[in-house]
Chains A and B, each alone.
Chain A
Amino acid sequence: MLEKTVVELSEALKLRKVSSVELTRAYLEKIGTKSKKLNTYITVCDELALTQAKMADQRLAKGEKNPLLGIPIAHKDIFCTKGIKTTCGSKMLENFVSPYNATVVSKLNKAGMVTLGKTNMDEFAMGSSNETSYFGPVKNPWDTEKVPGGSSGGSAAAVAADLCAIATGTDTGGSIRQPASFCGVTGLKPSYGRISRWGMIAFASSLDQAGPISKSAEDAAIIMNAMAGSDDLDSTSIRAPVDDYTASINDSLHGIKIGVPKQHLTEGLSIEVEESIRQALQVYEKLGATIKEIDLPNNHLSVSAYYVIAPAEASANLSRYDGVRYGFRCSQPTDLEDMYKRTRSEGFGSEVKRRIMIGTYALSAGYYDAYYQKAQKIRRLIKNDFDAAFKTVDVIVGPTSPHTAFGLGTTTDPVKMYLEDIYTIAVNLAGLPGISIPAGLVGKLPIGMQIIGKDFAEAKLLNVAHKYQKETDWHKMKPSLDFGD
């Protein structure tokens, strides 16, 4: 039962084949036996989950037909949850209990979803391997010697290991799509502003976006119907109408034009990943798509521009952690200055401190034009490249990551780690939607394919992803969780 999709579970709940309480208990039990090894959850909320499940069962008994009602979900520990710890993977917020819910959490609670717990993540979402978490790295369920990707690694691993039916994540430079790729699940980063950022702990405010990590594109479409939309509490949420993301999911792909960036199939890409993407393109050709090579000439500058813009915004956002109002405070400060410095130095991990310092440097007197403004100009060039490409194609397809999941502890050089996101970062800079779906296996490790769409074209992306999943079984592949326990 636990391996089923939201669509299947919803049907079983409606037909009373299982109750939400039974389902919730089963997930909690599996979390109890399997999550420790994988380190997917930072907090498990048994009590809340069972209360919510009971309420969902009552609503189901009254004949309510909402497809998310009674479905157990895990939230990335970056979303504030009232009365439950929200750590953001950091010592700084180790004991922080939010006084309110993030809008995403409120909306999904209202839809009747059951919160199983909060998933592990890179500290303040800064990382591509989940190794920067204060609570220890998450292990990849397909191979526990490998990373799950990051920063939403706990969410991706929990979905892959059937430790929840679906999960939330956030994506600033690839943090939904890359772990989805490494864990063999579906991960959607919507357009910037499509989903409210209220109550989502800020990393880089012009890039951060919430989205679902799921077992299928269809499940992602269902939950997007509840997550998307403008919010008075987030002035950057987009005031554009929200599609019914399930309505067009079965549309024919006949005549659709798919662009393949030549920059995404170049050196550095593993042969196996390239081969899988080429095979996936053949599937699309069979479905009536035409494939065309496109040019994204400034893609190679995306990582450079991102590592100015994201740290600059982070240095401002993280200045709030000063030991005064909430979060960690160092012991016995001698004066105010000492309190600020030791609180922040002891409360933040080394990657977070590194990015704060890069951001501070880039914004400091004398360097603003050379760094921050230059990066914003490159950002414009990257957006222009996509605009030009979308004049001739409907969607863009390529790999999500240059290779499959890498070994835990093998990438200690920050620059090498940053280049992991070479195919995903430009999408955030341009504010576009992107989805990663499973498209093959190398040995026992999954390969992810990224599909990028025009502004607010989430419905088209989900349609293109769903049609592929109707033709292939990669998204149904499961890791063996035989850890010898």
Chain B
Amino acid sequence: MGFNKLELTKVAQLARLQVTESEIEDVSERISEILRLIDQMQSINTDSIAPMSHPFDGTQVLRSDVITEQNSRDELQTLAPSVEKGLFLVPKVLE
């Protein structure tokens, strides 16, 4: 599985990252090398193996559905780049 410039452009878009024209060659070459390392996995057959997503095959812990957190909107919004009247401001989406 190669990784060409077209795929890089697609992945960068999915990840909301910009790759400039001058970087594109170097970045796709680096990622291709990493994918070659990753492809070593294909050297063994794992058909009968169950995937492992958690080191101890743990399951999600449940608790009763009660509110445990306070509303700290004002405090949290002090961290935001731009806010107004309790809202997070972003560039205009609709004209």
Q: Are B61 and A377 in contact (CB under 8 A)?
A: no
Query: In the complex, which of the residues A339, A353, A381 contacts B91, with contact meaning CB atoms closer than 8 Å?
Result: A339
Cβ of B52: which chain A residues have Cβ within 8 Å of it? Answer: 376-377, 379-380, 383
Query: In the complex, which of the residues B46, B56, B90 contacts A336, with contact meaning CB atoms closer than 8 Å?
Result: B90
Cβ of A341: which chain B residues have Cβ within 8 Å of it? Answer: 16-18
The total number of A-B Cβ pairs within 8 Å is 168
In the complex, how many angstroms separate the beta carbon of B33 from the nearest chain A beta carbon? 5
Q: Are B46 and A378 in contact (CB under 8 A)?
A: yes
Given contacts A307-B38, A371-B38, contact A364 B14 (CB under 8 A): yes
Against B, the Cβ 8 Å flags (1 = close, 0 = not) of A149-177 are 00000000000000000000000000000
Closest A residue by C-beta to B49: A377
In the complex, how many angstroms separate the beta carbon of A478 from the nearest chain B beta carbon? 36
Cα-based distance from A42 to B4 in the complex (angstroms): 38
Cβ of B34: which chain A residues have Cβ within 8 Å of it? Answer: 307, 354, 358, 414-415, 418
Q: Are A360 and B38 in contact (CB under 8 A)?
A: no
In the complex, how many angstroms separate the beta carbon of A235 from the nearest chain B beta carbon? 5
In the complex, how many angstroms separate the beta carbon of A355 from the nearest chain B beta carbon? 9
Interface residues in A402-425 (C-beta closer than 8 Å to B): 413-415, 418
Q: Are B58 and A236 in contact (CB under 8 A)?
A: yes
Cα-based distance from A455 to B53 in the complex (angstroms): 16
Cβ of B50: which chain A residues have Cβ within 8 Å of it? Answer: 377, 380
In the complex, how many angstroms separate the beta carbon of A306 from the nearest chain B beta carbon? 9
Given contacts A329-B82, A376-B51, contact A305 B30 (CB under 8 A): no
Interface residues in B1-49 (C-beta closer than 8 Å to A): 1, 3, 7-8, 10-12, 14-19, 27, 30-31, 33-44, 46, 49
In the complex, how many angstroms separate the beta carbon of A328 from the nearest chain B beta carbon? 8
Closest A residue by C-beta to B10: A364
Is there a chain A Cβ closer than 8 Å to B72's Cβ?
yes
Q: Are A364 and B18 in contact (CB under 8 A)?
A: no
Q: Are A325 and B39 in contact (CB under 8 A)?
A: no
Is there a chain B Cβ closer than 8 Å to A97's Cβ?
yes
In the complex, how many angstroms separate the beta carbon of A302 from the nearest chain B beta carbon? 10
Cβ of B81: which chain A residues have Cβ within 8 Å of it? Answer: 323-324, 326-329
In the complex, how many angstroms separate the beta carbon of B88 from the nearest chain A beta carbon? 5
Against B, the Cβ 8 Å flags (1 = close, 0 = not) of A368-386 are 0011011111111101000
Is there a chain B Cβ closer than 8 Å to A189's Cβ?
no
> Number of contact residues on A: which range applies?
35 or more
Is there a chain B Cβ closer than 8 Å to A238's Cβ?
yes
Given contacts A304-B38, A374-B41, A414-B33, contact A357 B80 (CB under 8 A): no
Q: Are B54 and A357 in contact (CB under 8 A)?
A: no
Against B, the Cβ 8 Å flags (1 = close, 0 = not) of A22-52 are 0000000000000000000000000000000
Q: Are A336 and B88 in contact (CB under 8 A)?
A: no
Cα-based distance from A246 to B32 in the complex (angstroms): 48
Q: Are B79 and A239 in contact (CB under 8 A)?
A: no
Closest B residue by C-beta to A321: B16
Q: How many residues of B contact A (CB 8 A)?
A: 53
Q: Are B15 and A301 in contact (CB under 8 A)?
A: no
Q: Are A381 and B38 in contact (CB under 8 A)?
A: no
Is there a chain B Cβ closer than 8 Å to A390's Cβ?
no
Cβ of B63: which chain A residues have Cβ within 8 Å of it? Answer: 232
Query: In the complex, which of the residues A192, A328, A357, A455 contacts B15, with contact meaning CB atoms closer than 8 Å?
Result: A357
Cβ of A197: which chain B residues have Cβ within 8 Å of it? Answer: none
Given contacts A193-B56, A206-B54, A377-B46, contact A357 B79 (CB under 8 A): no
Is there a chain B Cβ closer than 8 Å to A96's Cβ?
yes
Q: Are A326 and B37 in contact (CB under 8 A)?
A: no
In the complex, how many angstroms separate the beta carbon of B87 from the nearest chain A beta carbon? 11
Is there a chain A Cβ closer than 8 Å to B76's Cβ?
yes
Given contacts A97-B79, A99-B79, A325-B88, contact A235 B60 (CB under 8 A): yes
Cβ of A239: which chain B residues have Cβ within 8 Å of it? Answer: 61
Q: Are A301 and B91 in contact (CB under 8 A)?
A: no
Cβ of B40: which chain A residues have Cβ within 8 Å of it? Answer: 300-301, 304
Could you list which residues of chain A lie within 8 angstroms of chain B, going by C-beta atoms? Answer: 96-97, 99, 191-193, 206, 232, 235-236, 238-239, 298, 300-301, 303-305, 307-308, 315, 319, 322-329, 333-342, 344-345, 348, 353-354, 356-358, 360-362, 364, 367, 370-371, 373-381, 383, 413-415, 418, 429-432, 455
Q: Which 4 A-B pairs have the closest CB atoms?
A: A431-B55, A376-B51, A326-B79, A377-B46
Q: List 16 A-B contacts (CB under 8 A).
A: A99-B72, A99-B79, A235-B60, A300-B40, A307-B37, A339-B90, A339-B91, A345-B18, A345-B19, A354-B34, A362-B38, A373-B51, A379-B52, A413-B33, A414-B34, A418-B37
Given contacts A193-B56, A304-B37, 8 further A-B contacts (CB under 8 A): A307-B37, A308-B41, A344-B15, A344-B16, A344-B18, A374-B42, A414-B33, A418-B34
